[in-house]
A and B are shown apart, each in its own frame.
Chain A
Amino acid sequence: MQQKVETGYFGPYGGRYVPETLIHALEELEEAYERYRDDPEFVEELDGLSRDFVGRPTPLMFAGRLTEKWGGANVWFKREDLAHTGAHKINNTLGQILLADRMGKQRIIAETGAGQHGVATATVAALYGKACVVYMGEEDTRRQKLNVVRMKLLGAEVVPVLSGSRTLKDAVNEAIRDWVTNVEDTHYIIGSVVGPAPYPRIVRDLQTVIGREIEVQARERFGGDPDAIVACVGAGSNAIGAFHPFIGREGVRLVGVEAAGHGLSSGEHGASLAEGKLGVLHGAKSYVLQTEAGQIREAHSISAGLDYPATGPEHAYLKDEHFAEYASVDDEEALAAFTLCSRAEGIIPALETAHAISYAEKVAKELGPGKNMIINLSGRGDKDVEVASEALGVDAREAEEVSGDG
């Protein structure tokens, strides 16, 4: 696969569209990454913590009841929800804190949507004794209260962002403004495969541990490559991590699932690969949800983590080159899959992940029995119980009453 790594582009996508103040910091980061990525001490530290702190490798689990229910391909879960902090996000933050530490940066900043990346950043900042500030749209601080508390317990300062749509894109703006101001002593741990080069590549490399483990585990469990890998795509880090070793490999379908929100035709969704047009947001050229005049549109999804109006540049490239296919699932379908997975497999998935589960039914049926399909179970759903209970009408008080007479 041709990638102009040295220029920070994936085909025509990517680049470094940021204020001049940050160019030096991005060059420094790139140099540090090149220096340490294969450095034995760095690799040993990262592998050791991935094992002892994160709990890697995460299991590949056969989802027997879903397999039976759907009547298609064997369904497997790559259990990133079992990684420390409850999602794949920690793979990236752990690698980046090691880099930040070697670069002598004492202060860490991050943006967060659902709060999973914020928690993962606060976690590694605590582990390395760094100051940590997390920017979170005010709207999201309400939707994801549990994660706000977790971040604060870990010692991070959580700054609610009041500008714009008060969601993830605005949190990224605010994090970039902080970074521009404090660039000397601060490292920005961006949460996905977005932002200016070299971030999309660094985050992808760090998340590729998912795909590498899948490769080994698939061989052990069913003696070969999976026939399909299905993952949700907001900005796209869990998907790119699961896909990457399999890109261009014959017989492996790579399926990314975007958030259709209230439906693609409603205009309220997060499906930038399906509905966006080429543009520049947060430092990278990619597909962006925007108006005719180039104003960025607000994304919508029931899952805060997919509520982002652009997609990582490498996904744009994979889509163009047909290395991966992309579909979308709306709020209702995601909620149905959320319930289905909880009851059929005993796993409450993140609402983000539920999008992948929903679409996976179609893929499993297309593949048919005897084939093997892996769903990247990118995160667990504890953070979503409030949103889900509201949407599904599950009332905690009723449950108390039922059990209260015992």
Chain B
Amino acid sequence: MTGSERGSEKLRAAFPGDRAALIPYLTGGYPTLEGAREVGEAYLAAGADVVEIGVPFSDPLADGPTIQDTTTRALANGADPDYCLELASSFADRAPVVFLVYYNVVFARGMEAFLEDAAEAGVSGLVIPDLPVVEAKEFGALAAEKGVALCPLVAPTTTDGRVEEIGRAATGFVYCVSVAGVTGAREKLPPGAVELLRRVRSRVEAPAALGFGISSTDAAVEAAAEADGVIVGSKLMQLVAEGGPERAGRWLEEVRTALAGAVRTGTGERH
């Protein structure tokens, strides 16, 4: 097995196929350094297929107020990349872990060092919201060498031509952004989300996971009809703020149950 297959295969194996994978997000170091560990444990107990850990950054420009707040708190708690790597390694034997990390945090450690440390900690993939594929060539090659998968973003504004380019760069899953905007809980699944998933799934081989604003079981079920995975972040962070890890875990379990019964309409349309 070459390096590039390690993160990639582990991650892709976590997508069950007959239902959408459940990918909950937590901010590393929120609400406390220990509390984040409890949040992750609650996610795993609730049946998370992949755990996404946000590595706190001072200037998270793709994030809305909820995740910004958790990030600010986490930084004040002292959550640095070393801590996040350690956190990842405590989950990685039970479910694949992906990092959501801003590029400067990667760059400051050194691309190679960051990838090596991530692989060592058992991080399977990276979501880097401010590293579009046009800037990711060198990094993508290094990541492949080190066995860490890339999960690039696709947005409603992404043209079909670039969807294909992004698909080729996606060694992990494709992170479909449900709406032009920042992260944050939204009432309903945005109208363009299903259309985006269809565009992606007809052009891209990698699993397509939908994120940004999924905050109800209904929205998750609706997304699951077309998506290979459902990413939930801001809603869970709100629940952690209100009722701690247990509350977030309970809600996630409801989503997990709903996804198990959800009808997948999009599965026959893969190319």
Interface set, chain A 315-351, CB cutoff 8 A to B = none
Say whether B33 faces chain A, with CB atoms less than 8 Å apart.
no
Q: Is the CB of A183 within 8 A of B134?
A: no
Say whether A176 faces chain B, with CB atoms less than 8 Å apart.
yes
A291 neighbours in B (Cβ, 8 Å):
108
Q: Is the CB of B130 within 8 A of A173?
A: no
Q: How many residues of A contact B (CB 8 A)?
A: 38
Say whether A362 faces chain B, with CB atoms less than 8 Å apart.
no
Q: Is the CB of A173 within 8 A of B109?
A: no
Q: Is the CB of B131 within 8 A of A17?
A: yes
Q: Is the CB of B134 within 8 A of A21?
A: no
When the two chains form the complex, which single residue of A19, A184, A288, A293 contacts B130, counting CB atoms closer than 8 Å?
A19
B181 neighbours in A (Cβ, 8 Å):
21, 180-181
Q: Is the CB of B134 within 8 A of A23?
A: yes
Complex Cα–Cα for A310 and B227 (A): 39
Sampled A-B contacts (12; CB under 8 Å): A17-B130, A18-B130, A20-B154, A23-B132, A173-B60, A177-B182, A183-B157, A279-B108, A290-B108, A294-B81, A294-B108, A294-B109
Q: Is the CB of A24 within 8 A of B61?
A: no
Say whether B135 faces chain A, with CB atoms less than 8 Å apart.
yes
A19, A278, A288 interface centre (most CB from chain B within 10 Å): A19
Say whether B195 faces chain A, with CB atoms less than 8 Å apart.
no
Q: In the A-B complex, list the 8 residue pairs whose CB atoms are closest, starting with the nearest.
A: A294-B108, A21-B155, A181-B181, A295-B58, A294-B105, A20-B153, A24-B157, A20-B155
Say whether B244 faces chain A, with CB atoms less than 8 Å apart.
no
Say whether B77 faces chain A, with CB atoms less than 8 Å apart.
no
Q: Is the CB of B59 within 8 A of A281?
A: yes
Say whether B180 faces chain A, with CB atoms less than 8 Å apart.
yes
Q: Is the CB of B57 within 8 A of A173?
A: no
B245 neighbours in A (Cβ, 8 Å):
none
A7-33: contact bitstring with B at CB < 8 Å (1 yes, 0 no)?
Answer: 000000001111111111100000000
Q: Is the CB of A23 within 8 A of B182?
A: no
Q: Is the CB of B107 within 8 A of A19?
A: no
Known contacts A21-B180, A169-B59, A294-B105, then 11 further A-B pairs from the complex at CB < 8 Å, ordered by chain A residue: A16-B135, A19-B177, A20-B154, A21-B155, A21-B156, A170-B59, A180-B182, A279-B107, A281-B104, A293-B105, A294-B81
Q: Is the CB of B59 within 8 A of A164?
A: yes
Chain A: minimal CB distance from B46 (Å): 29
With A177-B182, A288-B104 already in contact, the answer to whether A283 and B59 are too (CB < 8 A) is no
Say whether B263 faces chain A, with CB atoms less than 8 Å apart.
no
Interface residues in chain B, defined as those with a beta carbon under 8 Å from any beta carbon in chain A: 57-62, 64-65, 68, 72, 75, 80-81, 103-109, 129-132, 134-135, 152-159, 162, 166, 177, 180-182
Complex Cα–Cα for A288 and B58 (A): 13
**Residue on A with the closest CB to B131?**
A17
Q: Is the CB of B153 within 8 A of A17?
A: no
Q: Is the CB of B135 within 8 A of A17?
A: yes
With A24-B157, A296-B59 already in contact, the answer to whether A280 and B132 are too (CB < 8 A) is no
Say whether A163 faces chain B, with CB atoms less than 8 Å apart.
yes
**Residue on A with the closest CB to B65?**
A163
B75 neighbours in A (Cβ, 8 Å):
295
Complex Cα–Cα for A15 and B139 (A): 14
Q: Is the CB of B61 within 8 A of A292?
A: no
A25 neighbours in B (Cβ, 8 Å):
157
A277 neighbours in B (Cβ, 8 Å):
108
Q: Is the CB of A183 within 8 A of B64?
A: no
When the two chains form the complex, which single residue of A19, A280, A296 contacts B58, counting CB atoms closer than 8 Å?
A296
Chain A: minimal CB distance from B173 (Å): 14
A279 neighbours in B (Cβ, 8 Å):
104, 107-108
With A20-B158, A280-B104, A290-B104 already in contact, the answer to whether A184 and B135 are too (CB < 8 A) is no
A130 neighbours in B (Cβ, 8 Å):
none
Q: Is the CB of A280 within 8 A of B107?
A: yes
With A20-B155, A21-B180, A23-B157 already in contact, the answer to whether A180 and B62 are too (CB < 8 A) is yes
Complex Cα–Cα for A41 and B55 (A): 49
B177 neighbours in A (Cβ, 8 Å):
19-21
A157-183: contact bitstring with B at CB < 8 Å (1 yes, 0 no)?
Answer: 000000110000110010011001111
Chain A: minimal CB distance from B267 (Å): 25
Complex Cα–Cα for A16 and B57 (A): 19
Q: Is the CB of A177 within 8 A of B64?
A: yes
B108 neighbours in A (Cβ, 8 Å):
277, 279, 290-294
A22, A283, A292 interface centre (most CB from chain B within 10 Å): A22
Q: Is the CB of B107 within 8 A of A173?
A: no
Chain B: minimal CB distance from A310 (Å): 10
**Residue on B with the closest CB to A28?**
B157
Chain A: minimal CB distance from B168 (Å): 15
Q: Is the CB of B59 within 8 A of A15?
A: no
A180 neighbours in B (Cβ, 8 Å):
62, 180-182
Q: Is the CB of A18 within 8 A of B105?
A: no
Chain B: minimal CB distance from A352 (Å): 23
With A16-B135, A290-B104, A293-B81 already in contact, the answer to whether A280 and B130 are too (CB < 8 A) is yes
**Residue on A with the closest CB to B153?**
A20
Complex Cα–Cα for A78 and B112 (A): 47
A293 neighbours in B (Cβ, 8 Å):
80-81, 105, 108-109
Complex Cα–Cα for A80 and B35 (A): 55
Complex Cα–Cα for A182 and B155 (A): 13
Say whether A282 faces chain B, with CB atoms less than 8 Å apart.
yes
Complex Cα–Cα for A126 and B106 (A): 42
B152 neighbours in A (Cβ, 8 Å):
20
